[in-house]
A and B are shown apart, each in its own frame.
Chain A
Amino acid sequence: MTSLDVGLPASALAWHARVRALLVTVGAGVVALVIGAVFVILAGGSPARALGSMVDGTVGSKFAVGQLLTQAIPLLVIGLGLAFAFRGRVYNIGAEGQLFMGALAGGAVLLTLDLEPRLLLALALLAGTAGGATWGSLVGILRARWGVNEVISSLLLTYIALFVFGWAIRRPFGDPSAGNNLASRPVPEDTLLPTLPGYFVHYGLFGALVLVPIVGYVMARTPFGFRVRAMGLNPQATEVAGVRTGRLVVWLMLLSGGLAGLAGIIQVVGIEGRLDAGISQSYGFTAIVVALLGRLSAAGVLLAALFIAFLNVGGQAMSVDEGLPYSLVVAIQGVFVLLVLVADRFSRA
């Protein structure tokens, strides 16, 4: 019996477990969509038309596909980091705060330094990653050093991060012309990520896609990934066997925080062009769903990120076309992840 309930198959049964995990997830997804259809009816709409509108709004045109992929980028980048951390049973739920701290650190570089654009961009991406990693490492250090529960500390730090970010875009980096919509001054235009010609998606997509095999490889085929998995399954035995589990916890927080921070700065240079609250539509929290639905595997996270992006972008189209509340798709996500948890347990019984 594996001790994690979502994902993390026992090594010797990996293949078997992966197939089962996929079947369970897809099955739960189908049930979630059926429940979603009931929601649509409750909201006074037609499920077929709602689905049609969602499909149309996500893959119906080049623009729609661009929207879908653009939404999937932050979910994918953050989800990969969270999946890794969750494998080691390090439950970082503060990615939202790490995202904003990353955006802030990267944004500070963009707004204060005067360098050659490419160098500035590279530096900003690095600073964004470092900012998120630093914010995450606080959580890791607190847990490794004193055993402070990381779920609560990472969440409290998210609230604190939001206030820090709010202050930064109001005072030091604030743009007076933005009025009541708080935002920073725009970052230098030549540091913005270019858009894929013909599609409406920025180059961050490639960065995110490159991360999938890299994180997948590190999780499954390196000593580090192995130690993380062992720690998730039995921290004491792993420590007694000579693994520095405290360091591993801090590393996982650096990594998941760093990826969240990277996602944050990518949002700045890829979409918004400045620091404001719009860089995240709760991506840090939604990525938890992505990691869990992706069963803590890199490929799974990719699929889950696309699916959730489909729900989000499609949901927007649906609310415009059909006048149905957007929150419907948020509810479906909640139902889906709950169903996976339940179905997974029953499939083991």
Chain B
Amino acid sequence: MKRFDGLTALAGVDFDVRKGEIHGLLGENGAGKTTLMNILFGLLQPDAGTIVIDGEPVRFRDPHDAVARGVGMVHQHFMLVPTLTVAENVLLGERHGVTLTRRDVAGVSARLAACAERYGLDVDPSAPVWKLSVGEQQRAEILRALYRNARILILDEPTATLTPFEAEQLLPRLRAMAAEGTAVVFITHHLDEVITHTDRITVLRGGRHVATLAPGETTTRELARLMVGREVASFAVGLGDAPLDAAPGAAALERVQGVREPVLEIAGLQARGPMGNLAVRGVDVAVAPGEIVAIAGVEGNGQSELEEVLLGLRRPTAGSIRLDGREITALAPAERLRHGIGVIPSDRYRRGLVRALSVAENLVLDRIGERPYGTPLTLNPKAILANARQLVERFSIRVSRPEQPAGMLSGGNAQRLVIARALSRELRVLLAAQPSRGLDVGAMEFVWSQLDAQRAAGVGVLLISTDLEEVFALADRCHVMYRGAVVAVWERAEFDRERFGLAMGGVLGSADPPAVAEGVRV
């Protein structure tokens, strides 16, 4: 059992993994999957209960204890130090002498290379981590666990940040590890994956154990019901292979037909990343009123830098951004806002809201000096609170009262707050970056319906998303980013999972024939 600040994150969960099996651990966000695994890895200590490995009860004070007992973990957000090399990252967890010579590093590199060879996990041990793709970083993480002789390997959402192609490559490798006797715990909320790739499935909900099943004796539908606790519309939970409906934006498009003049035009945009590397290298996107244009791609391919450029936080090194034909490239976020750009930043706590301010204050953060919320010299608390009550109602934000600090909201409610503020003014363009990341099904449905409604109202929506389900559910057109450049553009009618997967892996552009290119490094 584990409590956080009075909330019980886990309540009496029993969970067992067998040697040589792949055990799927399924649950929504907040179901307690990650908490459970953090306890298993010694990052958190349980308030009650025991862990037994090979029949022996163990206590992990820290990850070092867990590693010593053969537990390895691959976190969803990789736990690698970006400025260090892969080999140095491995050395970080090792206890050895005082010095760290080049020979020490070379020794580790050699052993890592051998290990990589054996499992087909291709990574350069001497490369600094920040230069690696997300797939390579994940392989480095797995390699680190194997290097330390992990017999229990925990993977937290391992496919979430991979291209479909990379994910397909990963799963047989896990199977090979299991075949050698490793117990693999596979945390996910993707229903298809657990059904096809695991030996047993455990479902958690609200910190409780709901069921442990064999994949043969269940269906995605039943798993979804167990996971959410109620019947769910197929809209939200894993589109699977369900056929795409006709372009949902078609109606809106027709209405603005003839007005296909783009409201937002991005041309030849280039920008540097935090390490000084060219992270965005030539992006061209046009968004017309009443359409949702998506920028898809695996995380770490320049989307966050692109987002920062569009928010006005990062200066591009080349290219232009135009709104209604007017240059806005050099404008500060404040001016962009005045010109009718609404934003839903991907990092809602860092860029979306001010935690220590109240919900009501956060909701007027962008209009605080304007009537009726105040004048240049006064504030009008009554109007600020009235506005908050109205928006809380309209966007179903669950708060005890509007004076509550925004930092106390759950992820879904925090996102509702950010969206409420963005949408409570007249928009020309809505920029939504990873708008449903980390949200539960209900909140995700809400976000999607809001984006859909903006499109219907004639707003040009630019959606930056690493979630293909989201892109397929919403976008009228999609650009795929790979290594900072747009490698493919498809209209909705051309959407195809396989081609998307290849493009996201950099194998295929929209101009190429849909065939697998040779010499793919995965």
CB 8 Å contact bits of B393-419 with A (1 = contact, 0 = none): 000000000011101000000000000
A223–B368 touching, CB < 8 Å: yes
A226–B361 touching, CB < 8 Å: yes
Does B463 reach chain A (CB closer than 8 Å)?
Answer: no
In the complex, chain A residues whose CB is within 8 Å of the CB of B379 = 221-223, 226
A240–B311 touching, CB < 8 Å: yes
Known: A222-B377, A223-B368. A237 touches B351 (CB 8 A): yes
* Residue in B closest to A222 when the chains form the complex, CB atoms: B377
Does A11 reach chain B (CB closer than 8 Å)?
Answer: yes
Stretch at the interface among A227-235, A311-319, A322-330: A227-235
A233 and B362 CA atoms in complex are apart in Å by 12
The 5 closest A-B pairs by CB, nearest first: A223-B369, A242-B337, A241-B365, A12-B403, A242-B366
* Residue in A closest to B347 when the chains form the complex, CB atoms: A236
A237–B407 touching, CB < 8 Å: no
A239 and B374 CA atoms in complex are apart in Å by 19
Known: A11-B361, A243-B334. A233 touches B356 (CB 8 A): yes
A12–B358 touching, CB < 8 Å: yes
**B425: min CB distance to chain A, Å:** 10
Does A238 reach chain B (CB closer than 8 Å)?
Answer: yes
* Residue in B closest to A227 when the chains form the complex, CB atoms: B368
Known: A13-B405, A222-B377, A236-B350. A241 touches B356 (CB 8 A): no
Cross-chain contact of A237 among B337, B350, B404, B405 (Cβ < 8 A):
B350
Does B343 reach chain A (CB closer than 8 Å)?
Answer: yes
Does A1 reach chain B (CB closer than 8 Å)?
Answer: yes
In the complex, chain A residues whose CB is within 8 Å of the CB of B358 = 10-12
Does B353 reach chain A (CB closer than 8 Å)?
Answer: yes
Looking at A10, A240, A243, the one whose CB has the most chain B CB atoms below 10 A away is A240
Does A3 reach chain B (CB closer than 8 Å)?
Answer: yes
* Residue in B closest to A221 when the chains form the complex, CB atoms: B379
In the complex, chain B residues whose CB is within 8 Å of the CB of A224 = 369, 376
A240–B345 touching, CB < 8 Å: yes
Does A345 reach chain B (CB closer than 8 Å)?
Answer: no
A226 and B404 CA atoms in complex are apart in Å by 17
B333–A239 touching, CB < 8 Å: yes
A3 and B84 CA atoms in complex are apart in Å by 30
A13 and B404 CA atoms in complex are apart in Å by 8
B333–A242 touching, CB < 8 Å: yes
In the complex, chain B residues whose CB is within 8 Å of the CB of A112 = none
In the complex, chain B residues whose CB is within 8 Å of the CB of A240 = 311, 313, 333, 343, 345, 351-352
Question: What are 24 A-B contacts with C-beta separation under 8 Å?
Answer: A11-B356, A11-B357, A11-B358, A11-B403, A13-B405, A221-B378, A221-B379, A223-B368, A223-B376, A224-B369, A229-B357, A230-B357, A236-B313, A236-B350, A237-B354, A239-B312, A239-B313, A240-B313, A240-B351, A241-B366, A241-B421, A242-B333, A243-B365, A244-B332
In the complex, chain A residues whose CB is within 8 Å of the CB of B377 = 222-223
Cross-chain contact of B407 among A1, A229, A243, A246 (Cβ < 8 A):
A1
A233–B333 touching, CB < 8 Å: no
A226 and B374 CA atoms in complex are apart in Å by 11
In the complex, chain A residues whose CB is within 8 Å of the CB of B378 = 221-222
Residues of B that sit less than 8 Å from A by CB = 311-313, 332-334, 337-338, 343, 345, 350-358, 361, 365-366, 368-369, 374, 376-379, 403-405, 407, 421
**A251: min CB distance to chain B, Å:** 13
**B353: min CB distance to chain A, Å:** 6
In the complex, chain B residues whose CB is within 8 Å of the CB of A2 = 356
**A116: min CB distance to chain B, Å:** 32
Known: A226-B361, A230-B354, A237-B354. A242 touches B404 (CB 8 A): no
**B401: min CB distance to chain A, Å:** 8
**A239: min CB distance to chain B, Å:** 5
In the complex, chain B residues whose CB is within 8 Å of the CB of A10 = 356-358, 405
Chain A 1-52 residues near chain B, CB threshold 8 A? 1-3, 10-13
In the complex, chain A residues whose CB is within 8 Å of the CB of B352 = 237, 240
Known: A11-B357, A236-B313. A242 touches B351 (CB 8 A): no
A226 and B366 CA atoms in complex are apart in Å by 11
In the complex, chain A residues whose CB is within 8 Å of the CB of B369 = 223-224
Looking at A3, A223, A224, the one whose CB has the most chain B CB atoms below 10 A away is A223
A278 and B216 CA atoms in complex are apart in Å by 88
**B453: min CB distance to chain A, Å:** 22
* Residue in A closest to B352 when the chains form the complex, CB atoms: A237
In the complex, chain A residues whose CB is within 8 Å of the CB of B350 = 234, 236-237
* Residue in A closest to B375 when the chains form the complex, CB atoms: A223
**B471: min CB distance to chain A, Å:** 24
In the complex, chain A residues whose CB is within 8 Å of the CB of B374 = 222-223
A257 and B275 CA atoms in complex are apart in Å by 35
Chain A 184-236 residues near chain B, CB threshold 8 A? 221-224, 226-227, 229-230, 233-234, 236
A246 and B355 CA atoms in complex are apart in Å by 21
In the complex, chain B residues whose CB is within 8 Å of the CB of A226 = 361, 368, 379
* Residue in A closest to B367 when the chains form the complex, CB atoms: A242
**B366: min CB distance to chain A, Å:** 4
* Further contacts, 16 of them, CB under 8 A, given A234-B350, A240-B333: A1-B355, A3-B356, A10-B358, A11-B358, A12-B403, A222-B377, A224-B376, A229-B357, A234-B353, A237-B350, A237-B351, A237-B365, A240-B352, A242-B334, A243-B365, A243-B366
